[in-house]
């Protein structure tokens, strides 16, 4: 098609009028009263589209055949899965510079095409094309009328130049016998026939995103603050494809057809052929069936409520893989013809060539000689006669471990077995065992070395021998599936499931246990399906249940925020211009050891992923202000050299727009860990930000180091720590009588994790009160820095990463041991200790700092039981310096120092405490203080749940390698940084005691004898001053405990509260 000459049909300008009309719909501000419209048909955008459809049929009736498909392909280009152009803004701009005859050099008229997403631009290449054409004296396209059919044909020709387009696109263009043209020639023909407004629309159609033209951002929202705070994402109700179908066909037939034939072309053609009174068509083999959307289960009780009324519910394991809808048709000779569709509806048949033999063998239509699975298994007979449509999850299966492998392993398996443009030859496998264990072998696109293969887990059947099963209940579909699928272990399997009787009172307990079992087995989650539900039934939808859907129970980490950028997809969801940063870059300190030993060493960060979700619009605006008001630098070589740190971007990441001179600390949570392409490091899956801290709140050095992060990620995905296999091998050689250390998947740890998650899920549903319930407990804020918070979702991961031996005699002990090594999250918002207490000399122990060894009198403090107030520093507050970076443990536990007895200093008033430092085997030297309700077995972490804790140690003392970090033992929010804070919380001053705390606990290192003496003397002095005070009965006791109780190898010890107190060096009060 070298020219456009046929002017019959619907003008493309008429379609452009629809885009302009929708763009004129005014968005609502947050301050304005929103319309209470709940029906999509009543929204202003939908009404505008309905009026346009009426005019279309009035002016151009009867509509030419194929008009329905063309309109929907143009209006929803992102749903046009068949046509791919392989063009983004940068690539398309290069063609447009030549087509429009402009220069893209500095100050050239086409410079805006390169800078379409700069801060002074609109973030829409189509807008830039229109502005350039309007500024051209001889605006093109003024004498030619172009129809929508002509534009659609040119787009098909353009898509035929891309190898990723569907085979039907290439075939349809080849059938026209038109000469093959270059992409430049096709685009030239297209743009030379269009007006500026039409060119803008076509540009965005090629880019597969019409949103910036349909829903432009108003001028009043040019500034990021106005855009984020004065408007929200629902400021305008956008036109969905379903609502457009109902506007196009008020009878709803087209929308119903699309559910069974989820392909725009097929659905539109079927609709146009359908006559009044004809029955609705059934699904057909070879055309994708729409996949129903799952509802989110945000807790056990809430998930079951969504299925209220069902007699039975099945908890089906959700496997971590890629969804595949498999269509097979047998021809007259019995040969199978396979079509495989991905979740998006794209034809992935050639990409999934590696599973064709598995599909045929599982359904009994295999040839036998092409399949290298399970040698010796006799071929099965065909389980169907005509055609079949089944749904399955495509997973990577490890032959070495005989189980499903991590999600990211699928990538290289698909690429190496694909046929066509998506085929990639994997790198050569290492030639030695040493190479297999090298760092390079951990690349996410590395060779699998023949130890893994693709497998299928079938979970539904939709069509069998021409009969649609969509209206059949789930129970019958599953029974049919089990009858037609042959199970071949490791290759063809059925999804495991557990039945819940909804009529029984313990239904929630059964689901809780089933879900906890899946978590302990490192599965992605579960899908709840009502036994009597039809496929895609709205009354009883499928309910997806995952850890991160439950508030506070995802994998949570603290990482360093290093850069920011405006990202078009997220920006168009938020409706913000490039003046706002939407996407943030997070890194991990890779040279923590060097920074510790050499304070002048520049920190080096590995930037592993980005996040654009999680924060509210108000929080996002605050983060934007923090970054824009800081000393940020643009991303360029000269600026990078001047940064106080070094960094390396993950290969799959685009560079940020700006970098921060002073990094920030951020808390994120996600749904487990995976690896991006070509990356050696794990990344958080679906990362969402929960908090970005000011430097004055928490320094960036509180973030996880790369080593710590990798340990957490490995444990979260069920991988043993690095080097465990080698350690076990050496141990077996030199100590054959000793068992190997337990792995992360050992039965004991699995049981402990299951028990732990049953407890967590009970807390989430409000059935049980626990330390992890944010709304139930109060805490005292620490003024000092907090170290590497890891939320409740990572409890078992931390435990497994450290491989601490666990006493398995009681499962409850193991459960609490996991919590003890974590420090379960208590609250996310806190009150502040007053500045007077914060600046007290007892930030370092008495007598250890410069000047007097005396401690100032306690200062007033705001307690948690008072209303919360925002203590966030004002925008004008300058950032504070960050403390030195700490490093993870890595050295063996030193020997316990010899026992010592400390005598009180002479001259102290009041009763003297008994000061005993016990031997490990000297039980008679312990002090017993029997208390009520304290006989239940627990761990130190459990004991500290209602304690205010201070770690007494000399200033600038690094944590010894044998001691667990404080965040891993002390519940979040319970640790304070001064002795003053402990005494204030225990009511030893003029203010009431903290209500939630029952005691104060001070950990001291007995090897620092002078430091220990000063601490004890100061507490004795303060206690003596309280004697005779009328409120002394309200004062809480303070215990002195040995720092050795925080050693890694003692954390899992099961103790009662009495036993913990009996191990105290002394007790005041």
- Residues 984 and 861: beta-carbon distance below 8 Å: yes
Q: Distance between CA 661 and CA 561 in Å, rounded?
A: 11
Joined together, the tokens standing for residue 175 give: 């059938």
DSSP 457-497: EEEEEEEETTEE-TTS-HHHHHHHHHHHPPPBTTTEEE--E
pLDDT in tens, 144-174: 789 999 999 999 999 999 999 998 898 877 7
Query: Which residue would you say has higher pLDDT here, 1006 or 773?
Result: 1006
Q: Distance between CA 590 and CA 606 in Å, rounded?
A: 6
Query: Crossing angle of helices 507-520/747-764, nearest 10°?
Result: 140
pLDDT in tens, 790-812: 444 454 454 444 444 333 333 33
Question: Start-end ranges of CATH 1.10.3260.10 in the chain?
Answer: 12-248
Joined together, the tokens standing for residue 27 give: 């968005």
**pLDDT exceeds cutoff 50 at 218:** yes
DSSP 643-702: SSSEEEE-TTPPPPSEEEEEEEEEEEEES-EEE-TT-SSEEESS-EEEEEE-TTTS-GGG
3-state DSSP call for residue 608? Answer: strand
Burial class (CB in 10 A: 0-12, 13-18, 19+), 593: middle
Q: Distance between CA 1029 and CA 645 in Å, rounded?
A: 55
The pLDDT value recorded for residue 1025 is: 84
- Residues 1021 and 1029: beta-carbon distance below 8 Å: no
Task: Write the CA distances from 991 to 27, 111, 687, 783, 1024, integer angstroms.
Answer: 52, 66, 42, 18, 18
Q: Distance between CA 410 and CA 395 in Å, rounded?
A: 6
- Residues 770 and 949: beta-carbon distance below 8 Å: no
Q: Distance between CA 389 and CA 472 in Å, rounded?
A: 14
- Residues 567 and 609: beta-carbon distance below 8 Å: no
The pLDDT value recorded for residue 252 is: 93
The pLDDT value recorded for residue 367 is: 60
Q: Distance between CA 658 and CA 636 in Å, rounded?
A: 9
Q: Distance between CA 836 and CA 769 in Å, rounded?
A: 35
Q: Distance between CA 492 and CA 457 in Å, rounded?
A: 6
The pLDDT value recorded for residue 806 is: 35
pLDDT in tens, 485-534: 999 999 999 999 999 999 999 999 999 999 999 999 999 999 999 999 99
Q: Distance between CA 981 and CA 859 in Å, rounded?
A: 9
pLDDT band at 956 (very low <50, low <70, confident <90, very high): low
pLDDT in tens, 549-564: 999 999 999 999 999 9
Q: Distance between CA 530 and CA 539 in Å, rounded?
A: 10
Helices (H), 241-378: 241-248, 253-260, 264-273, 300-305, 356-362
Question: Start-end ranges of CATH 2.40.50.140 in the chain?
Answer: 555-717
Share of the chain above pLDDT 70, in %: 78
**pLDDT exceeds cutoff 80 at 642:** yes
**pLDDT exceeds cutoff 50 at 814:** no
pLDDT band at 831 (very low <50, low <70, confident <90, very high): very low
Structural element, H or E, at residue 1014: helix 1009-1026
Provide the sign of the torsion angle of the four alpha carbons 675, 681, 682, 683, taken in this order.
negative
Query: Which residue would you say has higher pLDDT here, 1044 or 306?
Result: 306
Query: Which residue would you say has higher pLDDT here, 824 or 468?
Result: 468
**pLDDT exceeds cutoff 80 at 846:** no
| CATH 2.40.50.140 correct for 555-717 | yes
The pLDDT value recorded for residue 82 is: 93
Task: Write the CA distances from 388 to 324, 393, 460, 468, integer angstroms.
Answer: 14, 17, 11, 10
The pLDDT value recorded for residue 769 is: 60
3-state DSSP call for residue 1013? Answer: helix
β-bridge mates for residue 555, sequence order: 670
DSSP 829-871: ------HHHHT-GGGS-TTTSSS-S--PPP-----TTSPP---
β-bridge mates for residue 526, sequence order: 317, 545
pLDDT band at 370 (very low <50, low <70, confident <90, very high): low
User: If one looks up domain 295-545 in CATH, what number appears?
Assistant: 3.30.470.30
Phi, psi dihedral angles at 671 (to 5 degrees): -110, 65
Query: Which residue would you say has higher pLDDT here, 808 or 653?
Result: 653
The pLDDT value recorded for residue 437 is: 41
**pLDDT exceeds cutoff 60 at 866:** no
The arithmetic mean of pLDDT across residues 254-282, rounded, is: 93
Q: Distance between CA 714 and CA 682 in Å, rounded?
A: 8
**pLDDT exceeds cutoff 50 at 927:** no
The pLDDT value recorded for residue 346 is: 92
The pLDDT value recorded for residue 894 is: 36
Question: Start-end ranges of CATH 3.30.470.30 in the chain?
Answer: 295-545
Joined together, the tokens standing for residue 919 give: 């031997």
- Residues 979 and 842: beta-carbon distance below 8 Å: yes
Task: Write the CA distances from 843 to 810, 956, 980, 997, 1015, integer angstroms.
Answer: 40, 11, 8, 21, 12
- Of the given ranges (104-118, 178-192, 904-918, 1050-1064), which has the lowest mean pLDDT? 904-918
pLDDT band at 448 (very low <50, low <70, confident <90, very high): low
Joined together, the tokens standing for residue 850 give: 């410069």
**pLDDT exceeds cutoff 80 at 654:** yes
The pLDDT value recorded for residue 375 is: 53
pLDDT in tens, 680-715: 999 999 999 999 999 999 999 999 999 999 999 999
Region of residue 576 (phi > 0: left; psi between -120 and 50: alpha; otherwise: beta): beta
CB atoms within 10 A of CB 182: 9
Q: Distance between CA 64 and CA 147 in Å, rounded?
A: 11
Joined together, the tokens standing for residue 948 give: 């205010």
Q: Distance between CA 981 and CA 264 in Å, rounded?
A: 66
**pLDDT exceeds cutoff 50 at 783:** no
Q: Distance between CA 974 and CA 947 in Å, rounded?
A: 7
Say whether the peptide bond before residue 267 is cis (omega within 30 degrees of 0).
no
By C-alpha distance, which of 663, 685, 542 is closest to 608? 685
- Residues 939 and 971: beta-carbon distance below 8 Å: no
Please state, rounded to an integer, the average pLDDT across all residues of the chain. Answer: 81
Give residues with Cβ within 8 angstroms of 877, minimum separation 6: 694, 696
pLDDT in tens, 197-207: 999 999 999 99
Joined together, the tokens standing for residue 103 give: 């220069």
pLDDT band at 434 (very low <50, low <70, confident <90, very high): very low
The pLDDT value recorded for residue 1012 is: 85
β-bridge mates for residue 66, sequence order: none
Termini Cα distance of the chain: 94
Q: Distance between CA 754 and CA 549 in Å, rounded?
A: 18
User: If one looks up domain 12-248 in CATH, what number appears?
Assistant: 1.10.3260.10
DSSP 712-730: HHHHHTTPPPTTHHHHHHH
The pLDDT value recorded for residue 167 is: 87
- Residues 630 and 664: beta-carbon distance below 8 Å: no
Q: Are strands 999-1004 and 1038-1042 parallel, antiparallel or unpaired?
A: parallel
pLDDT in tens, 870-903: 433 444 444 444 343 333 333 333 333 444 333 3
**pLDDT exceeds cutoff 60 at 868:** no
pLDDT in tens, 339-362: 999 999 999 999 999 999 999 999
């Amino acid at each position: 098609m070298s020219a456009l000459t046929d002017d019959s049909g619907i003008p493309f300008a008429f379609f452009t009028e629809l885009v302009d009309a929708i763009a004129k719909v005014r968005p609502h501000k947050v301050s304005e009263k929103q319309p209470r419209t709940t029906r999509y048909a009543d929204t202003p955008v939908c009404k505008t589209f309905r009026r346009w459809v009426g005019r279309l049929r009035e002016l151009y009736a009867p509509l030419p055949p194929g008009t329905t498909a063309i309109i929907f392909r143009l209006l929803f280009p992102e749903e046009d899965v068949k046509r791919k152009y392989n063009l983004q803004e940068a690539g398309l701009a290069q063609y447009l510079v030549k087509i429009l005859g402009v220069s893209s050099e500095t100050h050239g008229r086409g410079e805006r095409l390169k800078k379409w997403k700069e801060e002074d631009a609109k973030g829409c290449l189509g807008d830039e094309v229109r502005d350039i054409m309007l500024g051209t004296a001889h605006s093109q396209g003024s004498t030619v009328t172009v129809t929508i059919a002509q534009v659609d044909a040119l787009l098909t020709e353009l898509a035929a130049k891309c190898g990723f387009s569907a085979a039907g696109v290439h075939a349809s263009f080849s059938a026209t016998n038109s000469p093959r043209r270059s992409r430049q020639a096709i685009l030239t023909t297209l743009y030379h026939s269009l007006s500026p407004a039409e060119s803008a629309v076509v540009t965005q159609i090629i880019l597969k995103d019409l949103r910036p033209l349909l829903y432009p951002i108003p001028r009043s929202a040019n500034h990021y603050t106005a855009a984020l705070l004065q408007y929200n994402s629902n400021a305008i109700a956008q036109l969905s494809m379903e609502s457009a179908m109902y506007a196009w066909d008020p009878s709803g037939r087209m929308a119903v057809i699309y559910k069974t034939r989820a392909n725009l072309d097929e659905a539109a053609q079927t609709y146009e052929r359908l006559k009044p009174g004809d029955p609705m068509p059934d699904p057909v083999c070879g055309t994708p069936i729409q996949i129903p959307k799952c509802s989110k289960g945000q807790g056990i009780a809430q998930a079951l409520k969504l299925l209220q009324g069902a007699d039975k519910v099945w908890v089906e394991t959700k496997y971590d893989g890629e969804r595949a809808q498999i269509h097979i048709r047998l021809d007259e000779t019995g040969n199978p013809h396979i079509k495989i569709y991905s979740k998006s509806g794209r034809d992935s048949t050639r990409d999934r060539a590696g599973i064709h033999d598995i599909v045929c063998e599982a359904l009994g239509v295999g040839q036998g000689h092409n399949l290298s699975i399970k040698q010796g298994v006799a071929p099965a007979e065909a389980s169907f006669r005509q055609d079949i449509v089944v749904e399955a999850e495509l997973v990577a299966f490890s032959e070495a471990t005989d189980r499903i492998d991590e999600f990211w392993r699928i990538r290289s398996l698909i690429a190496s077995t694909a046929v066509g443009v998506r085929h990639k030859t994997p790198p050569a496998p290492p030639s030695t065992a040493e190479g297999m264990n090298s760092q390079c072998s951990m690349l996410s696109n590395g060779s699998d070395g023949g130890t893994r293969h693709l497998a299928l887990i079938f979970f539904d059947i939709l069509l069998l021998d021409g009969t649609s099963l969509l209206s059949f209940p789930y129970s019958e579909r599953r029974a049919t599936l089990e009858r037609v699928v042959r199970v071949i272990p490791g290759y063809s399997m059925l999804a495991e499931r557990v039945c819940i009787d909804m009529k029984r009172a313990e239904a929630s307990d059964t689901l809780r246990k089933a879900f906890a079992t899946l978590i302990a087995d490192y599965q992605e989650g579960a899908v709840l399906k009502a036994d009597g539900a039809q496929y895609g039934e709205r009354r009883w939808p499928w309910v997806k249940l995952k850890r991160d859907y439950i508030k506070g129970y995802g994998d949570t980490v603290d990482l360093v925020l290093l850069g920011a950028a405006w990202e078009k997809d997220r920006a168009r969801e938020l409706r913000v211009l490039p003046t706002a940063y939407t996407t943030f870059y997070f890194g991990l300190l890779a040279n923590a050891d060097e920074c510790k030993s050499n304070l002048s060493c520049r920190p080096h960060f590995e930037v592993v992923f980005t996040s654009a979700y999680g924060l509210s619009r108000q929080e996002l605006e605050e983060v934007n202000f923090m970054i824009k008001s800081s000393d940020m630098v643009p991303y360029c070589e000269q600026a990078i050299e001047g940064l106080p740190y070094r960094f390396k971007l993950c290969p799959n990441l685009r560079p940020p727009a700006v970098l921060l001179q002073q990094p920030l600390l951020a808390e994120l949570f996600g749904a487990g860990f995976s690896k991006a392409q070509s990356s050696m490091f794990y990344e958080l899956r679906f990362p969402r930000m929960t908090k970005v801290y000011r430097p004055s709140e928490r320094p960036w050095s509180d973030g996880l180091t790369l080593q710590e992060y990798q340990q957490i990620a490995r444990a979260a995905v069920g991988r043993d720590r690095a080097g465990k296999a080698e350690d076990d091998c050496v141990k077996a050689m030199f100590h054959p009588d000793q068992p190997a250390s337990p792995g992360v998947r050992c039965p004991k740890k699995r049981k402990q994790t299951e028990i732990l998650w049953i407890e967590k899920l009970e807390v989430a549903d409000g059935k049980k009160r626990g330390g992890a319930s944010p709304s139930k407990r109060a805490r005292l804020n620490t003024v000092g820095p907090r170290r590497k918070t890891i939320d409740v979702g990572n409890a078992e991961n931390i435990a497994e990463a450290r491989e601490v031996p666990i006493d398995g005699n009681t499962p409850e002990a193991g459960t609490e041991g996991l919590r003890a090594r974590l420090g379960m999250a208590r609250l996310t918002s806190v009150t502040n200790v007053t500045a007077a207490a914060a600046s007290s000399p007892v930030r370092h122990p008495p007598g250890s700092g410069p000047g007097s060894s005396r401690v100032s009198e306690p200062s007033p403090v705001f307690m948690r039981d008072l209303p919360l107030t925002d203590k966030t520093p004002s925008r004008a507050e300058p950032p504070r310096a960050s403390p030195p970076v700490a490093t993870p443990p890595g050295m063996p536990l030193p020997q316990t120092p010899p026992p010592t007895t400390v005598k009180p200093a002479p001259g102290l008033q009041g009763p003297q405490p008994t000061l005993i430092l016990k031997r490990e085997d000297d039980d008679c030297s312990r002090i017993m203080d029997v208390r009520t309700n304290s006989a239940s077995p627990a761990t130190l972490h459990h004991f500290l749940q209602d304690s205010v804790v201070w770690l007494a140690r000399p200033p600038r003392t690094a944590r010894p390698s044998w001691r667990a970090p404080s965040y891993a033992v002390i519940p979040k929010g319970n640790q304070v940084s001064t002795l003053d804070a402990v005494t204030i919380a225990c009511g030893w001053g003029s203010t009431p005691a903290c209500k939630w705390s029952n005691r104060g606990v001070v950990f001291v290192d007995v090897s620092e004898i002078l430091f220990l003496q000063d601490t004890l003397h100061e507490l004795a002095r303060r206690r003596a001053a309280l004697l005779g005070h009328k409120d002394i009965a309200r004062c809480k006791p303070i215990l002195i405990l040995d720092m050795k109780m925080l050693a890694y190898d003692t954390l899992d010890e099961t103790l009662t509260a009495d036993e913990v107190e009996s191990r105290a060096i002394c007790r005041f009060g």
